[in-house]
Amino acid sequence: MSGMEGPATGQAGHWLPKAPREVGPGRVERYVVRTHLVQPREDLVRNLSPYLAGRVRPGDIVCVGEKVVAIAEGRVYELEAVRARWLARFLAGRVRQLGYGLGLRRPETMEMAIREVGSLRIMAAAAAGALDRLTGRSGDFYRVAGRRVSTIDGPGPTTIPPYNRAIVLGPRRPELFARRLARRLGCGVAVVDVNDVGSVVLARSPGVDARLVEEALRDNPMGQGSQQTPVAVLRPRRRPAPGHPRRPGGPAGGLGVLQPWPGGGAGPA
Q: List, in order, residues 6 or more apart from 156 with CB less than 8 Å away.
A: 100, 101, 102, 164
Arithmetic mean of pLDDT over the chain: 84
Looking at the predicted structure, is the pLDDT value of residue 117 above 80? yes
Looking at the predicted structure, is the pLDDT value of residue 264 above 70? no
Q: What is the pLDDT of residue 195?
A: 82
Q: What is the pLDDT of residue 268?
A: 45
Chain segment 192-242, per-residue pLDDT in tens:
999 877 899 999 999 999 999 999 999 999 986 667 899 999 999 976 666
Domain match, 81 and 38 both: no
| Amino acid letter, 255 | L
Domain boundary pick from 136, 168, 200 = 168
Rounded-to-integer distance, Cα 27 and Cα 176, Å = 29
Q: In what order do the strands lie in the sheet with 199-204?
A: 15-23, 26-33, 231-238, 61-65, 188-194, 199-204
What is the mean predicted confidence (pLDDT) over 180-202? Answer: 94
Structural domain that includes position 103:
76-168
Q: For residues 135 and 163, which has the higher predicted lDDT (pLDDT)? A: 163
Domain match, 208 and 222 both: yes
DSSP string, 123-138: HHHHHHHHHHHHHT--
Contact 14, 34 (CB under 8 A): yes
Cα distances (Å, whole numbers) of residue 188 to 20, 51, 58, 71, 154: 19, 15, 8, 22, 29
Domain match, 185 and 246 both: yes
Is residue 8 one of the residues assigned to a domain? no
Instruction: Report H helices in the chain.
Output: 44-52, 66-72, 86-92, 107-117, 119-135, 140-145, 147-150, 174-185, 210-216
Domain match, 93 and 218 both: no
Looking at the predicted structure, is the pLDDT value of residue 252 above 90? no
Cα-Cα-Cα-Cα torsion 89, 90, 96, 100, nearest 10 degrees, comes to: 10
Q: What is the pLDDT of residue 3?
A: 34
Domain match, 219 and 154 both: no
Chain segment 61-103, per-residue pLDDT in tens:
999 999 999 999 999 999 999 999 999 999 998 776 655 555 7
pTM greater than 0.85 (yes/no): no
- The lowest-confidence range among 48-52, 137-141, 157-161 is 137-141
Q: What is the pLDDT of residue 134?
A: 78
Q: What is the pLDDT of residue 13?
A: 87
Residues above pLDDT 70, as percent of the chain: 81
Q: What is the pLDDT of residue 241?
A: 62
Q: What is the Cβ-side half-sphere exposure of residue 194, based on CA atoms within 13 angstroms?
A: 28
Contact 100, 156 (CB under 8 A): yes
Domain boundary pick from 150, 168, 186 = 168
Look at residues 205, 167, 182 and name the one whose alpha carbon lies nearest to residue 82: 167
Q: What is the pLDDT of residue 262?
A: 32
| Amino acid letter, 3 | G
Contact 171, 145 (CB under 8 A): no
Number of folded domains in the chain? 2
